[in-house]
Amino acid sequence: MTPDSKPHADFRDLLEALCHVWGPSGHEDRVRALLLELIAPHVDETRVDALGNLIAVRHAAAGGAKGTGVEAPRIMVAAHMDEIGVVVTHVDQDGFLRFGPVGGILTGNLIGTRVTFEDGTVGVIGAEKRADQAKAPTLDELFIDVGADDAAAVTQRVGDMAAFHHRLDWSGGRPIAPNHDDRIGCVMLVAALRRFKPGPNTLVAVFSTQEEVGTRGAETAAYGVAPQLAIALDITGAGDTPKAPPLALKLGAGAAVKVKDGGMIASPALRRLMEERAQAAGIPYQLEVLTGGTTDARAMQTSRAGVPAGAISVPTRYGHSPSQVIDLADVQAGVDLLLALLEGDVSGLLGSGLTGSGMTGAG
Ligand code: CO
Ligand code: ZN
């Protein structure tokens, strides 16, 4: 912790900036523009690929791995820019918008939730009368009320997306926002780029697109980057609320080192190295086994001929709801752990990448 009067002041500032930017899946332009501004002074190269991923390279120290002239290991670290939301499927006669999901929407969370469209229009989600009011509504029992008296007064069109209304509050020192998933991963990656000291490894930071609809941005980014090691930064669950499903993750107890989730088994060697580095540096961590869900790590792990991959996660209460809660101590631990990995020797874990494999079309 810095001697700053406000603990985690950097994270607070970055979060304030990033949580207020609109960016449902496939519409990450504003998030990307802000990130580009934030990282430009701290990277050697940037590019944007066809899916909109922002790819930034921070080269290893001159001379390559251990000063041997051999190309330094390429480590891809991904955080996704997109957030969950809704998409207009139909505007009814009375001016109510019917919608479908963009990513994993939990209908039980939605009644009374405010959503914001790209042009700033705010709507509120309402529900039809249902036979069993105690049950979560289905998507087709819900609508968005944008204050229009009839269809003619509606400016939204089929295909327009909305995100949960952006608002960042603080409760007991913990930030609450609808899009910690995964702006907090972006915050961590920006913070890591700011602190990164060139050493034995090249860091390829990828701010990815369309994670919430199936880790699609990371898929093409990983193909293009062809990393030898890959790490995702994302949220996970927490099991520390009343009658929570059993989950050994607690807010404030440290960075979550992924062992497994619904889509992948993290590379055991990478997971062990994360634990070793955390122990050596006194960084608090906890092990993550999540039964559902996955992250960009899955897409990176299965790209090309396969890449050793893992994830550093931030325990989160009420994930995919309009009020996600995290603890900045876990964010701090995650950045510290990421840097301990990036700045140390990882040569024992590397996948082949493309070097010397005789593959054609590499690049
Ligand atoms: Co998510
Ligand atoms: Zn996420």
pLDDT by residue (tens digit) across 256-302? 999 999 999 999 999 999 999 999 999 999 999 999 999 999 999 99
What is the Å distance from ligand 1's center to 212 Cα?
A: 5
Helices 9-19 & 180-195 angle (0-180, nearest 10): 130
Q: Is the pLDDT of residue 357 over 80?
A: no
Mean pLDDT of 90-115: 96
Exposure string for 182-203, b = 16+ CB within 10 A, e = fewer: bbbbbbbbbbbbeebeebbbbb
Neighbours of ion ligand 1 (CB under 5 A): 181
pLDDT band at 353 (very low <50, low <70, confident <90, very high): low
Domains and their CATH numbers in the chain: 9-83+179-349 (3.40.630.10), 85-164 (2.40.30.40)
What is the Å distance from ligand 1's center to 261 Cα?
A: 13
Which DSSP state fits 299?
Answer: H
Q: Which ligand is nearest to the CA of 297?
A: 2
Supply the pLDDT for residue 350: 86
Q: Is the pLDDT of residue 236 over 80?
A: yes
Count Cβ atoms below 10 Å from residue 302 Cβ, excluding itself: 16
Count Cβ atoms below 10 Å from residue 30 Cβ, excluding itself: 14
Q: Are 205 and 58 in contact (CB under 8 A)?
A: yes
Q: Are 103 and 93 in contact (CB under 8 A)?
A: no
Q: Percentage of the chain surpassing pLDDT 90?
A: 88
Helix (H/G/I), strand (E/B), else coil: 162 = strand
CA distances 180 to 16, 75, 87, 137, Å, are 11, 24, 20, 25
* Phi, psi for 264 (deg, rounded to 5): -160, 160
Please identify which residue in the block is written with the tokens 């790490």. 231
pLDDT tens readout for residues 60-91:
998 655 555 568 999 999 999 999 999 999 99
What is the maximum span of the chain, computed from C-alpha positions, in angstroms?
Answer: 71
Supply the pLDDT for residue 319: 96
Q: Which ligand is nearest to the CA of 319?
A: 1
What is the Å distance from ligand 2's center to 242 Cα?
A: 24
Supply the pLDDT for residue 354: 57
Q: What is the mean pLDDT of the chain?
A: 93
What is the Å distance from ligand 2's center to 296 Cα?
A: 8
CA dihedral 180, 183, 189, 190 (to 10 degrees): -120
Strand order in the sheet with 324-325: 169-171, 174-177, 324-325
Question: 162 is written with which tokens?
Answer: 């909305």
What is the Å distance from ligand 2's center to 320 Cα?
A: 9
Q: Are 59 and 198 in contact (CB under 8 A)?
A: yes
Q: Which of 129, 324, 122 is nearest to 241 (CA)?
A: 324
pLDDT tens readout for residues 305-336:
999 999 999 999 999 999 999 999 999 999 99
Counts for the chain of helices (H) and strands (E), in that order: 7, 17
Q: Percentage of the chain surpassing pLDDT 70?
A: 93
pLDDT tens readout for residues 7-50:
798 999 999 999 999 999 999 999 999 999 999 999 999 999 99
What is the Å distance from ligand 1's center to 234 Cα?
A: 8
Supply the pLDDT for residue 228: 96
Q: Is the pLDDT of residue 137 over 90?
A: yes
Q: Which ligand is nearest to the CA of 84?
A: 1
Q: Are 250 and 315 in contact (CB under 8 A)?
A: yes
pLDDT tens readout for residues 158-173:
999 999 999 999 999 9
What is the Å distance from ligand 1's center to 177 Cα?
A: 13
Q: Which ligand is nearest to the CA of 311?
A: 2
What is the Å distance from ligand 1's center to 4 Cα?
A: 32
Integer Cα distance of 174 and 108 in angstroms: 24
What is the Å distance from ligand 2's center to 215 Cα?
A: 9
**96: part of which helix (H) or strand (E)?**
strand 96-102
Active site amino acids: 211
Q: Are strands 114-117 and 161-164 parallel, antiparallel or unpaired?
A: antiparallel
What is the Å distance from ligand 1's center to 162 Cα?
A: 16
What is the Å distance from ligand 2's center to 66 Cα?
A: 34
**177: part of which helix (H) or strand (E)?**
strand 174-177
- C-alpha distance across the termini of the chain, in Å: 41
Integer Cα distance of 30 and 119 in angstroms: 12
Helix (H/G/I), strand (E/B), else coil: 115 = strand
Q: Which ligand is nearest to the CA of 296?
A: 2
Q: Which ligand is nearest to the CA of 184?
A: 2
Q: Is the pLDDT of residue 216 over 90?
A: yes
Q: Is 323 exposed, middle or buried (0-12, 13-18, 19+ CB in 10 A)?
A: middle
Mean pLDDT of 118-137: 94
